[in-house]
With several copies, the nearest count.
Chain A
Amino acid sequence: MSKSIHKPGFILGDALDIPTFRVLKQDGTLYKGASEPDLDKDFALKLYDDLVFIRVLDERMVGAQRQGRIPFYLASLGEEAASVGSAAALQSQDMIFAQYREQGALRHRGFTVDQFMDQCFSNERDLGKGRQMPIHYGCKALNYNTISSPLGTQIPQAAGYAYGQKLEGLDAVTICYFGEGAASEGDFHAGLNMAAVLKSPTIFLCRNNGYAISTPSSEQFLGDGVASRGVGYGIATLRVDGNDLLAVYAATQAAREYALEHQAPVLIEAMSYRLGAHSTSDDPTGYRSKEEEAKWAKKDPILRYKHWLTEKGWWNDEEEKALYASHRETILASLKLAEKRPMPKIDEIINDVYDTPTPQLQQQLKQLKAHIRKYPDKYPKTSGRLDA
């Protein structure tokens, strides 16, 4: 029972002042009192490889969209450390539910350059069978649940997934990524509260990048960010500098341990900034200043991590150039192949609605094929391969 007071007094939004966990300064040295997580050289360089791959991929694909080669793209510029660093602290049996700006986590898990390309070009090799817009990745083999556009829906799903893992007694957790904007959805409330009460070992990782499209976080919520809500749900909560890969890694490692040991959720709020446009459909000059962007560009998480690698003597300029060049080359080569691959056959239009197509769907496909045969020029991408 809570203690009593006898004069009415309000608790205000600043009652909690949640600190930010940081390890690395921008120059690659450690904060006083901070300690490095235990990363061996190979693994540390693999993470750098992931970061750079994603940065190059994003750049190339934004370009491809501008050239009209793909209909849409969405970059993670400036936020790479939050997804790579957190994914690195997990085990491969841990399930990932992403929002859409976590290509870093997927790359870390081993999604190949061809797999990225095949999805973005919706070709017949896309694991998602060309049914969703670019960047809606998913991969069962890598425990990466397919991305869905409606925001926040993955949050209670992740809680349920983790509950299922717990019922099976697995040594596994589920991580759920979402933006600070998505955290305003009702599903956020439902998911965090259910995870808390039902004790699901879920790591909720909010990427607070300051914006939801044009809406600054100051018009998204008051109070002390998303982290302060965790306390209200009785969830162990931690705020971390999202541009500090080492801090994100250490925080996620601690969260995973906590979640497994207590069979309970953890909330991490990773503070970062979306350096680029929201997506290729967006132009941020309409709603924020160049100065603000420049301020954050100085906090580039990839540079910060590179400085650390350099400090350790694990990295040099030559390797840097070679790495960028090699990723550029691989990505471009893969892109060119992916865009030539045909789209999925028309039969795929009715598959996977159900486990097996219903008679109605089979009938609809039959009629559709007959129609395509009549007007082959109208449907050039499928008409040539109706019976193949």
Chain B
Amino acid sequence: MSQMNLLQSINNALDTAMAADDKVVCFGEDVGHFGGVFRATSHLQEKYGRGRCFNTPLTEQGIIGFANGMASQGHKPVAEIQFGDYIFPAFDQIVNETAKFRYRSGNEFNVGGLTIRTPYGGGIRGGHYHSQSPEAYFAHTPGLKIVVPRNPHQAKGLLLASIRDDNPVIFFEPKRLYRASVGDVPEEDYELPIGVAEVVREGKDVTLLAWGAQMEIISEAAVMAEKDGIDCEVIDLRSILPWDIDTVVASTQKTGRLIVSHEAPITNGFGAEIAATVQEQAFLYLEAPIMRVCGIDVPFPLSHETEYMPDATKVYEAIKASVNY
């Protein structure tokens, strides 16, 4: 075990993966010599050579196109998109190509080796274009897996699992936590399961559900609610696609109440899918409507970031509203 921050644990996971399998290759803008603008790929070029860790030209569609090709050839590319906000030029390569590669070819070819890493989320005073949480844009796409870790330990285990999963995975990294989140991380190689949620706190009154950086917020709200005698169950979804319906439904059936929280705008965010599915599968158990505490329907604002954020007080108010419904 060592103490690592989230960035270090990601760097460590990449190092572990590259050491274990020479098919693993890391690239993206500024990823090579410099080690990435956040330094997630630090020292990998030194260790594994320019062939396996390198800068690309500044073209996200090219990065993912190139990665799709490498993956279909049998490599395991780990492509970095510098900010989640800049993943959209690669949207066609991801949604029309990556996601459909195996299906359309009848499994003659696949890009299962591909992992796309990208920092997402607010809290760094980054405004419109350094703050978005684009997971829901991909969640409507069969063929992709989507994973979001909440802390350094989770990050290493989930990233190793993503790289080795025989399906393309988009791995969203909560950049607000890159240096802020520090914890014990095993030095050895380990994987955490994709598609499985984790109940991080058991409770009986209300289920709180989130992923990534938002886990801190709902956990804080759970503590606030505890003082009012409300006992929250807190779940980290961890994977957006495929998502662990059973765990979430079971918890909701137990508590009768579900609150989902994400930073992205509320309309058609992934909270919508969760609410739609759970109201169907837990209908007779619900004692209050499923509530969503999310960003409002505006581009991510700079000066009103504090107001925009689905913070702990907002989640706490929703908990009370749910209990008092």
Q: Are A190 and B59 in contact (CB under 8 A)?
A: yes
C-beta contact mask, A7-41 vs B, less than 8 Å → 1, else 0?
00000000000000000000000000000000000
Contacts of B35 in A (CB 8 A): 286
Contacts of B97 in A (CB 8 A): 148, 150, 153, 157
Specify which of A131, A221, A359 is in contact with B303 (CB 8 Å cutoff): A131
Contacts of A140 in B (CB 8 A): 108-109
Q: Are B75 and A167 in contact (CB under 8 A)?
A: yes
Contacts of B106 in A (CB 8 A): 126-129, 131, 138, 146, 352
Closest to B62 in A: A190
Residues of chain A from 172 to 190 with CB closer than 8 A to chain B in the complex: 174, 181-182, 184-187, 189-190
Q: Are B59 and A184 in contact (CB under 8 A)?
A: yes
A343 within 8 A of B: yes
Closest to B114 in A: A160
Contacts of B167 in A (CB 8 A): 354-355
Q: Are A193 and B57 in contact (CB under 8 A)?
A: yes
Contacts of A129 in B (CB 8 A): 106-107, 303
Q: Are A375 and B296 in contact (CB under 8 A)?
A: no
B136 within 8 A of A: no
Q: Are B57 and A194 in contact (CB under 8 A)?
A: yes
A72, B131: Cα distance in complex, Å: 14
Contacts of B107 in A (CB 8 A): 129, 351-352
Residue among A127, A186, A374 with max Cβ neighbours from chain B (10 Å): A186
What's the nearest-Cβ distance from chain B to residue A350, in Å?
6
Bin chain B's interface residue count: 35 or more
Contacts of B66 in A (CB 8 A): 156-157, 159-160, 163, 190-191, 194, 198
B183 within 8 A of A: no
A334 within 8 A of B: no
Contacts of A139 in B (CB 8 A): 108
A337 within 8 A of B: no
A215, B100: Cα distance in complex, Å: 29
Bin chain A's interface residue count: 35 or more
B74 within 8 A of A: yes
Contacts of B143 in A (CB 8 A): 353-354
Q: Are B72 and A368 in contact (CB under 8 A)?
A: no
Q: Are A287 and B33 in contact (CB under 8 A)?
A: yes
C-beta contact mask, B243-271 vs A, less than 8 Å → 1, else 0?
00110000000000000000000110000
Residues of chain B from 46 to 84 with CB closer than 8 A to chain A in the complex: 51-52, 54-62, 64-75, 77
Contacts of B105 in A (CB 8 A): 127-128, 138, 145-146, 352
Contacts of B242 in A (CB 8 A): 358-360
Contacts of B56 in A (CB 8 A): 194, 197-198
A128, B107: Cα distance in complex, Å: 7
What's the nearest-Cβ distance from chain B to residue A134, in Å?
9
A381 within 8 A of B: yes
Closest to B311 in A: A378
Residues of chain A from 339 to 375 with CB closer than 8 A to chain B in the complex: 343-344, 346, 348-355, 358-361, 364-365, 368, 371-372, 374-375
Q: Are A219 and B96 in contact (CB under 8 A)?
A: no
Q: Are B102 and A352 in contact (CB under 8 A)?
A: yes
Q: Are B104 and A153 in contact (CB under 8 A)?
A: no
Contacts of B266 in A (CB 8 A): 364
Q: Are B103 and A160 in contact (CB under 8 A)?
A: no
Q: Are A157 and B307 in contact (CB under 8 A)?
A: no
A8, B108: Cα distance in complex, Å: 36
Q: Are A149 and B304 in contact (CB under 8 A)?
A: no
What's the nearest-Cβ distance from chain A to residue B249, in Å?
12
Q: Are A212 and B69 in contact (CB under 8 A)?
A: no
A213, B61: Cα distance in complex, Å: 19
Q: Are B57 and A214 in contact (CB under 8 A)?
A: no
A281, B37: Cα distance in complex, Å: 9
Q: Are B108 and A128 in contact (CB under 8 A)?
A: yes
Q: Are B57 and A184 in contact (CB under 8 A)?
A: yes
Contacts of B69 in A (CB 8 A): 97, 156-164, 174
Specify which of A160, A198, A359 is in contact with B54 (CB 8 Å cutoff): A198
Specify which of A131, A150, A190 is in contact with B88 (CB 8 Å cutoff): A150
A212, B59: Cα distance in complex, Å: 12
What's the nearest-Cβ distance from chain A to residue B83, in Å?
9
A109, B167: Cα distance in complex, Å: 29
A156, B33: Cα distance in complex, Å: 23
Which of B11-19, B121-129, B151-159, B210-218 faces chain A?
Answer: B121-129
Residue among B25, B61, B166, B167 with max Cβ neighbours from chain A (10 Å): B61
C-beta contact mask, B213-248 vs A, less than 8 Å → 1, else 0?
000000000000000000000000000001001100
Contacts of B54 in A (CB 8 A): 198
Q: Are B34 and A287 in contact (CB under 8 A)?
A: yes
Specify which of A153, A282, A349, A374 is in contact with B298 (CB 8 Å cutoff): A349
B193 within 8 A of A: no
A105 within 8 A of B: no
What's the nearest-Cβ distance from chain B to residue A126, in Å?
7
Among all A-B residue pairs, the 6 with the closest Cβ atoms: A156-B65, A160-B69, A190-B62, A130-B303, A164-B73, A157-B69
A-B contact pairs, 11 of them (CB 8 A): A129-B107, A132-B302, A133-B302, A161-B73, A164-B74, A186-B59, A187-B61, A197-B57, A350-B298, A353-B298, A364-B297
Starting from the known contacts A161-B72, A355-B112, 15 additional A-B residue pairs (CB-CB under 8 Å) come to A130-B302, A131-B106, A131-B299, A131-B301, A138-B104, A146-B109, A149-B130, A150-B96, A184-B57, A186-B61, A186-B89, A187-B65, A343-B304, A344-B304, A352-B106
